[in-house]
Amino acid sequence: MYRYVISVLFLLFLIMFGCGKKSPSLGEDVFVLAENDTEAVTEALGETETCDSLKEEEGLCCVYVCGEVNVPGVYELPAGSRVYEAIQLAGGLTETADPGAVNQALFVEDGEMIQVFAQGEKPRESPQEKEEQEDGRVNLNTADISALMGIPGIGETKARSIIAYREENGKFQSAEDVMKITGIKEGLYSKMKDYITVK
């Protein structure tokens, strides 16, 4: 009877401590697998972010080059290209072209038309441009970069900011709205207000 009790107690001891023992190898494998998965996901996300940033950096724009160039047409250039590069893609200037009729150092804009005029040829003015010239003021809602750069205190960067603002927010409702653009405060506005208008 005594031996039977000892045997039962011994079996209970084995069951309690033997079955409750964890497998170290299984736990370690699971931990290593989870760690590896986390690293793989992190690397994949990093590669995705890198690809997205590269796509943004490698933006393209289309321009129409016409007039006195050898091969007029629509051309695709990397964002940040200049007018002279667009002209080169269009086969360069013809013998009768006036190189000074277009500012070849300007940055190109998506959807822009770059027209090269012949020597002695004058650009045709649209009714709107003629009205603006007679008025003597630059319309912030329609002026291109060249016209905007003619405003006192406005360089190429601010001119591009003005165009970007109206593309994102619509037309300027008043001349004072130009102060919503970063870098244009009351001091600069007071210098330019007599040279600008909105229509």
In this structure, is residue 19 part of a structural domain?
no
Helix (H) or strand (E) holding 61: strand 60-67
Has this prediction a pTM greater than 0.85?
A: no
pLDDT tens profile 91-108: 999 999 998 888 898 888
How far, in Å, CA of 51 to CA of 143, rounded?
Answer: 36
Residues 65 and 110 in one domain: yes
Same domain for 104 and 145, yes or no, is no
Task: Give residue 73's domain range.
Answer: 60-116
Burial 157-172 (b: 16+ CB within 10 A, else e): ebbebbbebbeeeeeb
Q: Do residues 79 and 61 make contact, with C-beta atoms less than 8 angstroms apart?
A: yes
- The amino acid occupying position 59 is G
44-78 pLDDT, tens digit per residue, is 444 444 434 433 445 888 999 999 999 999 999 99
Number of domains in the chain: 2
Query: Whole-angstrom Cα distance, residue 117 to residue 139?
Result: 24
From 93, 116, 139, the end of a domain falls on 116
Q: Which two tokens stand for residue 37?
A: 């998965």
140 contacts 170 by C-beta, under 8 angstroms:
no
106 and 150 belong to one structural domain: no
* Same-domain status, 140 and 193: yes
134 and 193 both lie in a single domain: yes
Residue ranges for the chain with pLDDT beneath 50:
19-42, 44-57, 134
Q: Is residue 153 part of a domain?
A: yes
